[in-house]
Structure 1
Amino acid sequence: MKVDRVRMITLCAMFAAVTAIFAQVEIPLPIVPISGQTLAVGLTATILGSRYGAVAMLCYVALGAIGLPVFAEAKGGAQVLIGPTGGYIFGFIVTAFVTGWILEKTKFTLAWALFANTIGMIITLVMGCVQLKFVLDMSWTQALTVGVYPFIIVGLIKAFLASTIGITVRKRLVQAKLLRLPKLEKAAS
């Protein structure tokens, strides 16, 4: 059991690092850039599931909170978390948990992963939009225009990529015995 726990903690750390790397892949926009972070969140949740996906994102947020430059544009520090884009970052934790939870309660298939990652995208956008609105004192229309609408198409593409890649990688990790199937998933297979 201890080996499994160490393996999962190692995977959480690796996925926190992957998220930090993906955060540096971005298309700059005036207030909220399009970055690879949300793709990494979807991959993490699809591969690790709810609990460990959320732990990986908690690690990522904690690394950024203490000042490491892991957020988009190589930013770090608590000021990012309380700033206009902080809601998206906090949303990653909830998104990873909910996306993984949906997959654990249904099946780790491409169709369910796409559904779960789409729900996750919505969670991230909603949490980001709420903080954006209040931090910048915007109307809801302005917050939606700046913080949601530009990200819907890209978010759906990332949800598809996270689902496709995530399910494939998850299957390979299970085959290599680097990732254990949850009890519910074992019973279904």
Structure 2
Amino acid sequence: MSSQSTKLRDLIHCGIFAAITAVLAQLEIPLPLVPISGQTLAVGLAATILGSRKGALAMVCYVLLGTVGLPVFAGATGGIPILFGPTGGYIFAFIFTAFITGYYLEKTAFTIPHAMIANTLAMILALCLGTIWLKYAVKITWPVAIAGGVTPFIIPGLLKAFLASWIGVNVRKRLISANIMQETPTKHKKVPA
């Protein structure tokens, strides 16, 4: 496959995962400050399936779609005000958490246990970044920010980390075996010279 074909295929994969994130964002449980949504599940799936670079690029595409006003964020919202509102820190964190999840897997192995570790670490990072943003965006105290931006998300976050790991690793294997995507070399795999 030519380099140009590979780049086009990679862009298509990123676009597909930006769209999946937009769809899963609409599955939400409203809460007073920040809703529980399917966005973080989609971020974990993108990173577990695509790896660091393409997973992060998919999230950049997603954020850009929302920035221009398309209703891709939770609650079918979009636009710059959402990015500077209470949930903006979580949305920006998707880019970093996708990269970190994929990077961890590329340095270890694309297995369910490693994916669970990577997705759990990413969830913690997203909650930290999002809660810091929430505190300052809404001008609330740390206890209120933690109660509204961390506590309700721990159990759902662990569940989504498990689902992203299990589904992501299995889908990734099938896509590679179907030659729909190329396997990303990991630290433990020997790369042909």
Length-normalised TM-score, structure 2: 0.95
The equivalent position to 1:21 in structure 2, one of 17, 20, 23, is 23
Q: Secondary structure at the match of 1:151?
A: helix
After TM superposition, list the pairs within 5 Å mapping 1:1-189 onto structure 2.
Answer: 1-184=3-186, 186-187=189-190
Unaligned runs of 5+ in 2: none
For residues 60 and 155 of structure 1, the distance between their equivalents in structure 2, rounded to whole angstroms, comes to 20
Mapped to 1, the partners of 2:45 and 2:132 lie a distance apart of 24
In structure 1, the gaps of 5 or more residues are: none
Alpha-carbon deviation of 1:183? 3.3
**What does the per-residue CA deviation read over 1:44-85, in whole Å, with 9 as the maximum and x for residues that have no partner?**
000000000000000000000000000000000000001110
Q: In structure 2, what is the Cα distance between the partners aligned to 1:62 and 1:97?
A: 17
Moved more, 2-11 or 37-46: 2-11
Q: Is the 8 A contact 2:66 2:79 kept in 1?
A: yes
What's the C-alpha RMSD, in Å, of the aligned pairs? Answer: 1.0
Question: For 1:150 and 1:131, how far apart are their aligned partners in 2?
Answer: 17
1:105 Cα deviation (Å)?
Answer: 0.3
Runs of 4+ in structure 1 off by over 4 angstroms are: none
For normalisation by structure 1, the TM-score amounts to: 0.97
Which AA in structure 2 matches 1:6? L
Displacement of 1:182 in angstroms is 2.2
CA contact (8 A) 2:112 2:166 kept: yes
Q: Which has the higher helix share?
A: 1
The 3-state SS of whatever aligns with 2:69 is: coil
- Please report how far the alpha carbon of residue 187 of structure 1 lies from its aligned counterpart in structure 2 after TM superposition: 1.9
SS of the counterpart of 1:24?
A: coil
Q: Distance in 2 between matches of 1:5 and 1:33?
A: 35
Tell me, in whole angstroms, the C-alpha distance in 1 between the residues paired with 2:174 and 2:190.
19
